[in-house]
Amino acid sequence: MEFKYDERVLKPGYTSCLGCGEALAMRLVAQACGPNSIFTNCTGCSEIFTSRYPASSWAAPWIHSLFENSAAVASGVYYALKHKGRMPQVNVIGTGGDGGTADIGLQCLSGAMERGDDILYVCWDNEAYMNTGVQRSGLTPLDADTTTSPAGKASYGNDRPKKDLPMIMAAHGIPYVGVASMGYYRELAPMVKRILQIRGPKFLQVHVVCPLGWKSDPAKSAELARLAFETGLYPLYEIIRGETKPHRPPKDGWRPVEEYLKPQGRFRHLFRAGNAAERITRIQALAAANIRKFYGPDAVPQFAKDAEAKLAEAAKATA
Amino acid sequence: MAPQGRQEILEGAMAVAHAVARCRPEVIAAYPITPQTHISEELSTIVADGELQAEFVKVESEFGAASVCLGASAAGARAYTATSSQGLMLMAEVLWNIAGMRLPVVLACANRSVSAPLSIWCDHQDADSIRDCGVIQLHAEDAQEAVDQHVIAFKAAEDRRVLLPVMVNLDGFLLTHVFEPVELPDQALCDAFLGKYEALYKLDPGDPMSFGCFTEPDKCMEGRWMIHDACLRSAAVIEEVSAAFARTFGRNSGGLLEEYKSADADTVLVAKGSICGTIKDVVDELRDKGRRVGLVRIKTFRPFPRDRIVAAVRGAKRITVVEKGGSFGSGGVVTPELKDALYDAGLRIPVSGFCVQLGGREVAPDGIQEIIDRVEKGEQVHYEYFRLKKAILPDLVP
Ligand SMILES: Cc1ncc(C[n+]2csc(CCOP(=O)(O)OP(=O)(O)O)c2C)c(N)n1
Ligand code: SF4
Ligand SMILES: [Mg+2]
């Protein structure tokens, strides 16, 4: 088996759901960091499924404090080790879900990044507050049905597009920002090893599927995550010392967003009869903008351009 | 034998900063807020001048400050922060967590009113409102005590029988911004007294462990009890450490209580903080006139020194608590705790509670004397906002 447990870091037996992307990505990232690391964790699914007292899945040193302070706790660990002359020999790794990172924990994260603390912060982006029962977060995508952004007779679900957290991080001028996906799980370990060579604050966001929250097939999590990228809805890239390096584009070309949306219960309402087609056009236009941003105007496929044109026309008609 | 130190005229906050530096914290994280700011400014200067080898972390908030201290302490470093009022409120969630994870972080609270209405001036509602979270609370009467209590705080917090955060309270402006003669603890004595901090448990790849696991109902209560128990038992440690401090430095700045002319007093006042200086002046004056008045000063508010207070007041005919705080919709904070202790001791001494100096309102000696006169005439009040200016209340207030 290529993805064996490294029991010096994480032991098997934790209680995540079947097909949990957060569990997979966390293990691969943590193992790549290795046992000579100290991990901090926001409150959230990964914290709960690894740390029921008196057992802990963590064989490497690990601390969970609160929902919103993982980055600041990591900073505290970093300064303690620095003072004791143990940096950068030890990797200090802050982790948290999208809620703990992009919403309630954004302030602590911004502080750590702006101060230049030599830590790697990793956000598991499953696009909602899963641990508390699938509520909307700032990283929930447009039109996703969650328990606090429900689709209904007068609602298509979440009414805002995702907050662009990686760009917010990049605006801090930090040496490394990366967006990865559990869909390309083989890339995670080498990527993390490379990142850890960089001194200073580093931010990595990993797109992880939550079959429970997304109402998707647990056997197809990795496939679904790849579709998020291949449709242009979840761009993957690195910004290393200010230079943006997009992930190589999908081998077989960009795909229509329906292929990503359809297998997920959280977007089911978009495929019911009615005027939801216009919503899908809107989502397709978001994908077009992402593709244009990272791969240039020529890379945008015709069906995506058509969606943009349709939207523009509709806007003109209402104006 | 205690050496003869050198007194300097120092601003309270500056003196505290220099005392903290002599305790050699390894990580300091603090955020500006009046009236605490001079402590952290001075500490950052001490670090910038290379006089103290420490990491001064420029945090984005008090929430961040407390969280950085938590992480640093968990990684085995001596950690310090200082705050006031709104900052303490913002730290509250982290303070519970620091105490729960048994991390000996030391902090100062330059006591200040909590908004609204916004006021930068002193009262104790900030400290009082976090009394339940497992943070040990010391209260200073003057700058010298604030200085010395910091040394005691580090020693008591790090004692393995305690392992809890300790907060030194000093009244905002009244102590932080006033210049007083202060003797700073000698560096060599301080080093010998505190020693290097060696964490019992820490985040260390060489000996990995998990901090902050969650518990099910079958275990959580025991974890909470251990905090309660450690906090209760810290009383003996605080006394022990304070006695050792007195032997080493020649000053009696710590301890649980101060009994000031209270042994034979008919009227005993109970208070904490700098107002006790004023109360002592009034006690002296009344004693000169033959009135049997005394003060029991709370120096350690958490753990609450129940037995010691009961022993100190049991001969009184009446007790009057002078508080700089209260609990809206209930009454005092110190007053009910005192009554609770008396009740359990089977004592039915009349107790009055007076709320004074909220938001920095001054109480001159004549105010204290008025309170004493009233209770000595037989008046007993549950909890009264003393000298409330009814005339300036809006009309809709009945
Ligand atoms: C201050 C605070 N507010 C709310 C909560 C409740 N809470 C715990 S975890 C969580 C959601 C976690 O979501 P996310 O960070 O996305 O992690 P996930 O569970 O999805 O991995 C919430 C709302 C809390 N623990 N603390
Ligand atoms: S709810 Fe989602 S994120 Fe949480 S353990 Fe289950 S699959 Fe993983
Ligand atoms: Mg989430």
- How far is it, in rounded angstroms, from Cα A302 to Cα A6? 46
| Co-location of B182 and B294 in the same domain | no
Q: Which of B229, B249, B269 is the last residue of a domain?
A: B249
> For residue B179, what pLDDT band results from cuts at 50, 70 and 90?
very high
Assigned architecture for domain A5-252: 3-Layer(aba) Sandwich (3.40)
Q: Where are the domains of chain A?
A: 5-252
- How far is it, in rounded angstroms, from Cα B92 to Cα A69? 13
Q: Is the pTM of this model over 0.90?
A: yes
Average pLDDT over residues B282-303: 98
Taking 50 as the threshold, does the pLDDT of residue B348 lie above it?
yes
* B58/A115 CB distance under 8 A: yes
Q: Which ligand is nearest to the CA of A97?
A: 1
* B67/A77 CB distance under 8 A: no
Three state DSSP letters for chain B: CCCCCCEEEEEHHHHHHHHHHHCCCCEEEECCCCCCHHHHHHHHHHHHCCCCCCEEEECCCHHHHHHHHHHHHHCCCCEEEEECHHHHHHHHHHHHHHHHCCCCCEEEEEECCCCCCCCCCCCCHHHHCCCCCCCEEEECCCHHHHHHHHHHHHHHHHCCCCCCCEEEEEECCCCCCCEEEEECCCHHHHHHHHCCCCCCCCCCCCCCCEECCECCCCCHHHHHHHHHHHHHHHHHHHHHHHHHHHHHHCCCCCCCEEEECCCCCCEEEEECCCHHHHHHHHHHHHHHCCCCEEEEEECEEECCCHHHHHHHHCCCCEEEEEECCCECCCECCHHHHHHHHHHHCCCCCCEEEEECCHHHCCCCHHHHHHHHHHHHCCCCCCCEECCCCHHHCCCCCC
> For residue A285, what pLDDT band results from cuts at 50, 70 and 90?
very high
- How far is it, in rounded angstroms, from Cα A286 to Cα A226? 17
| Co-location of B215 and B275 in the same domain | no
> Is B196 domain-assigned?
yes
A297 contacts: CB under 8 Å, gap ≥ 6: none
Taking 90 as the threshold, does the pLDDT of residue A276 lie above it?
no
> Of all atoms in ligand 1, which is nearest to the CA of residue A43?
9
| Co-location of B187 and B69 in the same domain | yes
φ, ψ (nearest 5 deg) of residue A102: -85, -25
Among candidate residues A198, A212, A191, the one with its CA nearest the CA of residue A129: A212
Among candidate residues B122, B116, B126, B58, the one with its CA nearest the CA of residue B91: B126
> Is B187 domain-assigned?
yes
| Co-location of B228 and B319 in the same domain | no
Ligand 2 pocket member A230 (CB < 6 A):
no
Average pLDDT over residues A51-69: 97
**Which residue's alpha carbon is at the smallest distance from atom 6 of ligand 1?**
A132
What is the distance in angstroms between the Cα of B367 and the nearest Cα belonging to chain A?
45
CA dihedral B81, B84, B89, B95 (to 10 degrees): 30
What count of residues does chain A have? Answer: 319
Residue B127 contacts A, CB cutoff 8 Å:
no
Determine the 3-state secondary structure of A297 from DSSP. Answer: helix
Which carries the bigger pLDDT value, residue A125 or residue B396? A125
- How far is it, in rounded angstroms, from Cα B231 to Cα B31? 27
What spacing in Å lies between the alpha carbon of A136 and ligand 1's midpoint?
11
> Of all atoms in ligand 2, which is nearest to the CA of residue A134?
1
Q: Which ligand is nearest to the CA of A210?
A: 2
Q: Which of B249, B275, B300 is the last residue of a domain?
A: B249
Taking 90 as the threshold, does the pLDDT of residue B370 lie above it?
yes
| Co-location of B388 and B302 in the same domain | yes
Residue pLDDT, tens place only, A237-273: 999 999 999 999 999 999 999 999 999 999 999 998 7
**Which residue's alpha carbon is at the smallest distance from atom 4 of ligand 1?**
A67
Taking 90 as the threshold, does the pLDDT of residue B177 lie above it?
yes
> For residue A68, what pLDDT band results from cuts at 50, 70 and 90?
very high
Q: Say which range, A305-319, B40-54, B300-314, B365-379, has the weakest mean pLDDT.
A: A305-319
Determine the 3-state secondary structure of A70 from DSSP. Answer: helix
CATH classification at residue B142? 3.40.50.970
Average pLDDT over residues B79-87: 98
Q: What is the pLDDT of residue A318?
A: 87
> Is B202 domain-assigned?
yes
* pLDDT > 90: percent of chain B: 97
Average pLDDT over residues B345-374: 97
**Which residue's alpha carbon is at the smallest distance from atom 4 of ligand 2?**
A45
Q: Which of A15, A18, A22 to mutate to test ligand 2, by most ligand atoms within 8 A of the CB atom?
A: A22
> For residue B1, what pLDDT band results from cuts at 50, 70 and 90?
very low
| Co-location of B228 and B360 in the same domain | no
> Of all atoms in ligand 2, which is nearest to the CA of residue A18?
7
Residue pLDDT, tens place only, A93-150: 999 999 999 999 999 999 999 999 999 999 999 999 999 999 999 999 999 999 999 9
* A76/B27 CB distance under 8 A: yes
Q: Which of B249, B274, B304 is the last residue of a domain?
A: B249
CATH classification at residue B309? 3.40.50.920
> Is B368 domain-assigned?
yes
Q: What is the pLDDT of residue B396?
A: 76
> For residue B79, what pLDDT band results from cuts at 50, 70 and 90?
very high
> Is B262 domain-assigned?
yes
What count of residues does chain B have? Answer: 398
- In A, what residues contact B, Cβ < 8 A? 35-38, 40-41, 47-48, 51-56, 58-66, 68-69, 72-84, 90, 107-108, 110-111, 114-115
User: Could you list the residue range(s) of the whole structural domain that residue B221 is in?
Assistant: 5-249
Q: How far apart, in Å, are the Cα atoms of B32 and each of A208, B60, B65?
A: 39, 10, 10
Q: What is the pLDDT of residue A69?
A: 98
* A53/B214 CB distance under 8 A: yes
Among the partner-chain residues B68, B208, B211, the one whose CB lies closest to the CB of A72 is B68
Taking 70 as the threshold, does the pLDDT of residue A1 lie above it?
no
- The total number of structural domains that make up chain B: 2
Q: With contacts defined as CB-CB under 8 Å, which chain B residues touch A66?
A: 67, 93-94, 97
Q: With contacts defined as CB-CB under 8 Å, which chain B residues touch A38?
A: 75, 203-205
- How far is it, in rounded angstroms, from Cα A124 to Cα B313? 58
Taking 90 as the threshold, does the pLDDT of residue B398 lie above it?
no
Pocket of ligand 1 (CB under 6 A): A 22, 42-46, 67-68, 96-100, 124, 126, 129-132, 137
Amino acid at B138: L
Q: Directed axis angle between helix B85-100 and helix B62-74, to 10°?
A: 30
Cα nearest neighbour of A74 on chain B? B71
Q: What is the pLDDT of residue B4?
A: 53
Structure tokens at B353: 């509670």
| Co-location of B67 and B206 in the same domain | yes
> For residue A2, what pLDDT band results from cuts at 50, 70 and 90?
low
φ, ψ (nearest 5 deg) of residue B92: -55, -45
Residue pLDDT, tens place only, B187-212: 999 999 999 999 999 999 999 999 99
| Co-location of B171 and B217 in the same domain | yes
Residue pLDDT, tens place only, B124-168: 999 999 999 999 999 999 999 999 999 999 999 999 999 999 999
| Co-location of B291 and B369 in the same domain | yes
Among candidate residues B135, B162, B146, B13, the one with its CA nearest the CA of residue B69: B135
Residue pLDDT, tens place only, A44-55: 999 999 999 999
Q: CB atoms < 10 A from the CB of A272, how many?
A: 8
| Co-location of B219 and B261 in the same domain | no
Taking 80 as the threshold, does the pLDDT of residue A310 lie above it?
yes
A12 contacts: CB under 8 Å, gap ≥ 6: A5, A57
Q: What is the pLDDT of residue A296?
A: 98
DSSP A220: G
What is the distance in angstroms between the Cα of A180 and the nearest Cα belonging to chain B?
27
Q: What is the pLDDT of residue B2?
A: 43
- Taking all residues of chain A, what is their mean pLDDT, rounded to a whole number? 96
| Co-location of B165 and B305 in the same domain | no
Ligand 2 pocket member A124 (CB < 6 A):
no
Strands B166-171 and B318-323: unpaired
* B211/A62 CB distance under 8 A: yes
- Taking all residues of chain B, what is their mean pLDDT, rounded to a whole number? 97
* A51/B213 CB distance under 8 A: yes
